[in-house]
């Protein structure tokens, strides 16, 4: 059967379908003027942002009609984050769910410049584009007022396989944002465990049965790993707190343009592989935040600040309340798994208390 990429086989130019029926966005369309950034005397930033609903007039950089599973949390969270980014954007997606469901040839859901790279070298490829862009501006090959934000979108699998390239980009101080959507597994390839899969969670490679009760070790703390590279800004976010995520996006853009690499992790739901109903994603994310399994915070120029503290408002809940909401972890509530459940609770508490100590002491 003839290969259908026009130019490889002769094809008929009159019969070619357009690559995308959705026109690209202009810089003017992507600039709301509603977000204000003010540097403080201590070097950190204040963000003045309108209520999230006021940003709803901003066009979506990822158009509807992609092929994500019902209830997938990737694109709602990504849309919220991108509403905090002003102006032109170049996005690079590492291989993963978000890439696969939005770029089925010959169509694309992306209305901005989009690139795809493999798991292991997305950060290296995008950092090269960042430097090419600045060099071409310096040479006068691009307008002096050219202003682009470079964003890499990756899953937690990509931050396993591509961790070396991400750390390398951070250490070289490239002006780019790395945004990780964490659904706690290699969901694009069949729900294998990733190093962001928590202890005890069931995946297709961490089984539940007589010989095994889910993943056998704790998940890695990627935000703290990236913070250890001394990049200027690290943050976490969830879809259920859009104002928080938009403000962090605005900060991320400022730091990427002025000081270097930024990293953010967003917890997103995967109903298919978490074995839950499509409609309960926000509830599960809220439980993850309220149990302090997934705390919301930022590390800005080395200073840690918790942006949502459930202890202070009386919303702290046991980790078990979060785990029982998902089919992949319901076994942890059954007899025989008390030790694993206690180990999860203890590790969540240890990390939370450490984070609170960092929040209270700028030297930590």
pLDDT at 8 over 70: no
Report the CATH number of the 22-360 domain: 3.40.50.970
pLDDT at position 64: 84
H/E segment holding residue 135: helix 122-139
Residue 190 backbone class (left: φ over 0; alpha: ψ -120 to 50; beta: rest): left
Range 319-343 average pLDDT: 96
Residue 135 has pLDDT above 60, yes or no: yes
CB 288 within 8 A of CB 241: no
Let me know: does 282 contact 239? Beta carbons within 8 Å: yes
The average pLDDT across 59-76 equals 92
pLDDT, tens only, 167-187? 999 999 999 999 999 999 999
Average of pLDDT values for 189-213? 95
Residues of the chain above pLDDT 70, percent: 94
pLDDT in tens, 263-306: 999 999 999 999 999 999 999 999 999 999 999 999 999 999 99
Mean pLDDT throughout 47-51?
93
* Confidence at residue 1, expressed as pLDDT on a 0 to 100 scale: 42
Most confident of 49-63, 97-111, 140-154: 140-154
DSSP reduced 3-state for 55: helix
Residue 88 confidence (pLDDT): 96
User: Can you say whether residue 85 is alpha, beta or left, with left for phi > 0 and alpha for psi between -120 and 50 degrees?
Assistant: beta
**pTM for the full model?**
0.94
The predicted structure's pLDDT at residue 57: 86
Residue 22: the pLDDT is: 75
Distances in Å between the alpha carbon of 306 and those of 46, 148, 241, 297, 355?
Answer: 15, 30, 14, 4, 8
**Is residue 248 pLDDT above 50, yes or no?**
yes
The pLDDT, as a whole number, for residue 3 is 46
Compare 3 and 83 and report the one with higher pLDDT. 83
Q: Output b/e per residue, 159-193; b: 16+ Cβ within 10 A.
A: bbbbbebbbbbbeeebbbbbbbbbbbbbbbeebbb
d(CA 67, CA 319): 32
pLDDT (mean) for 203-223: 95
Write down the pLDDT at residue 311: 97
pLDDT confidence of residue 105: 76
pLDDT at 77: 96
Contact 61, 114 (CB under 8 A): no
Tokens of 307: 């942006």
Do the beta carbons of residue 65 and residue 109 sit within 8 Å?
yes
b or e along 294-325 (b: 16 or more beta carbons within 10 Å of the residue's beta carbon)?
Answer: bbbbbbbebbbebbbbbeeeeeeeebeebbeb
What crossing angle do the helices spanning 242-258 and 74-82 adopt, rounded to 10°? 60
pLDDT tens, residue by residue, 75-132: 999 999 999 999 999 999 999 999 999 998 778 899 999 999 988 999 999 999 999 9
Give the number of other Cβ atoms within 10 Å of residue 84's Cβ: 25
Specify the residue for token string 């969540």. 348
Q: Where are the domains of the chain?
A: 22-360
């Amino acid at each position: 059967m003839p290969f259908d990429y026009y130019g490889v086989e002769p094809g008929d130019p009159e019969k070619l379908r357009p690559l995308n029926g959705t026109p690209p966005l202009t810089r003017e369309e992507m600039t709301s003027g509603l977000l204000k950034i003010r540097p403080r005397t201590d070097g950190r930033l204040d963000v003045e942002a309108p209520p999230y609903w006021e940003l709803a007039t901003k066009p979506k950089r990822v158009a509807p009609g992609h092929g994500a599973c019902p209830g997938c949390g990737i694109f709602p969270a990504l849309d919220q984050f991108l509403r905090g980014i002003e102006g032109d954007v170049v996005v690079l997606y590492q291989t993963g769910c978000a890439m696969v469901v939005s770029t089925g040839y010959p169509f694309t859901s992306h209305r901005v410049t989009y690139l795809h790279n493999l798991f292991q070298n997305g950060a290296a490829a995008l950092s090269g584009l960042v430097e090419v862009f600045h060099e071409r501006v310096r040479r006068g090959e691009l307008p002096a007022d050219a202003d682009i934000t470079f964003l890499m979108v990756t899953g937690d699998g990509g931050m396993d396989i591509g961790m070396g390239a991400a750390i390398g980009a951070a250490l070289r101080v490239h002006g780019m944002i790395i945004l990780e959507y964490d659904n706690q597994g290699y969901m694009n390839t069949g729900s294998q465990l990733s190093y962001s899969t928590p202890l005890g969670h069931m995946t297709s490679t961490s089984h539940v049965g007589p010989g095994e009760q889910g993943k056998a070790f704790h998940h890695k703390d990627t935000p703290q790993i990236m913070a250890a590279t001394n990049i200027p800004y690290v943050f976490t976010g969830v879809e259920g707190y859009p104002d928080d995520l938009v403000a962090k996006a605005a900060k991320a853009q400022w730091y990427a343009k002025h000081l270097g690499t930024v990293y953010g992790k967003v917890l997103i739901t995967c109903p298919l592989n978490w074995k839950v109903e499509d409609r309960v994603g926000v509830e599960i994310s809220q439980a993850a935040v309220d149990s302090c399994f997934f705390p919301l915070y930022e590390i800005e120029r080395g200073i840690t600040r918790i942006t949502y503290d459930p202890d202070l408002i009386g919303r702290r809940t046991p980790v078990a309340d979060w785990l029982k909401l998902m089919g992949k972890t319901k076994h942890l509530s059954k007899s025989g798994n008390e030790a694993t459940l206690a180990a999860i609770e203890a590790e969540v508490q240890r990390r939370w208390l450490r984070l609170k100590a960092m929040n209270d002491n700028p030297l930590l």
